[in-house]
Structure 1
């Protein structure tokens, strides 16, 4: 296995260094494990990066909204597991066309509830801005949201999930997530 292990002192990194390490890990895995036969390993490895670098449980709860309070503990655990896979695949899709050299770290600025790190990946077909919102937790920085060209992914997920729940059930939402992030 090719598990990316954080370097000693990772928890003491700056927010920008945390984002940079996370993006570099994902880009490395996308390059190193690009063969179709390694898709399952690639997904697993990138999921470990997401689990280490993202405050995914909080993100999942905010994306689910009030419906989470009505779900059973087992359903919430299953939802969070699937949410991590969707987040993994979205991150992979956003970064797939870039290399580490194409990602420019523009700014790091403090906000009332954390720190925002603004980056600009530039590829052959796409120029975009991504803002990573991080919070300090237990001596490390965790990504709490990502805005892509000004749109929060947590807010975007919340809109999608609310629509599915309004038109269907929690089971329908779970089926949607399973289809959105199939395991290779």
Structure 2
């Protein structure tokens, strides 16, 4: 399956993780879930549907006008919130520290992490113009507890090169939801865990709040 997207910035790491948040990936918030369907789509159909929907927003000429930029941003965020299990990402990103947090601290981290990613990635949706996303094969497995997981392999095809982007999904609440992405072998979850590990939870929260307010990296706070 080949879907038309727009081109990315020159840096591959930025392109790939921005692609994750601005084109292919979708959030499902703790209290939200995608609408129940009569037939559950295959994992690769879920990824393809997210791609198709977001690309439709980014390539809509009416939404590309300066006066509609905020509307386009809100539509992208709403779509992102439809398909992705962000609570699962947050738990995996914090690793063992997640078990030490109470419910209020977990909710606080999830909300801040969402804002942090929006500020650093989704805010840059205007940088896209003319590439291809190729949704390829999928692999589904089940663990001993009966939990179902999937990997969907895709290629982000640019004029000069092709970047492999592999999505990890879990089956929850009648839907396939993305919980991690590997871009050229780099896991989103592992990448952020390595960024967050040097800080205590209180310091991490402080730095995330400052980063959201200033747009600067965590280490600059």
Alpha-carbon distance in 2 for matches of 1:94, 1:12: 29
| 1:130-158 C-alpha deviation (Å, 9 max, x unpaired) | 10111111211101111111111011111
Unaligned runs of 5+ in 2: 1-33, 143-147, 217-221
Q: 1:35 aligns with which of 53, 58, 65?
A: 65
Distance 2:36 2:49 in 1: 13
Q: Contact (CA 8 Å) 1:129, 1:148: kept in 2 or not?
A: yes
Residue in 2 aligned with 1:172? 207
* Alignment match, 1:97: 128
Look up the SS of the partner of 1:23 in the other structure.
Answer: helix
Q: 1:58 to 1:166 in 2, by over 3 A?
A: closer
Matched, 1:78 2:108: yes
Residue number in structure 1 paired with 2:21: none
- Partners of 2:201 and 2:37 in 1: how far apart? 45
Q: How many residues align?
A: 175
- 1:129 aligns to what SS in structure 2? strand
* Contact kept in structure 1, 2:112 and 2:208, CA below 8 Å: no
- 1:123 correspondence with 2:123: no
Partner SS for 1:13: coil
Higher helix content, 1 or 2: 1
Provide the TM-score with structure 1 as the length reference. 0.76
**1:46-94 Cα distance to aligned partner (Å, 9 max, x none):** 2222221111111012212344445554443232123234445546869
Displacement after TM superposition at 1:22 (Å)? 0.7
Segment of structure 1 superposing worse, 131-140 or 75-84: 75-84
Q: TM-score, normalised by structure 2?
A: 0.64
1:72 and 1:129 map into 2 onto residues whose CA distance is 37
SS at match of 1:107: strand
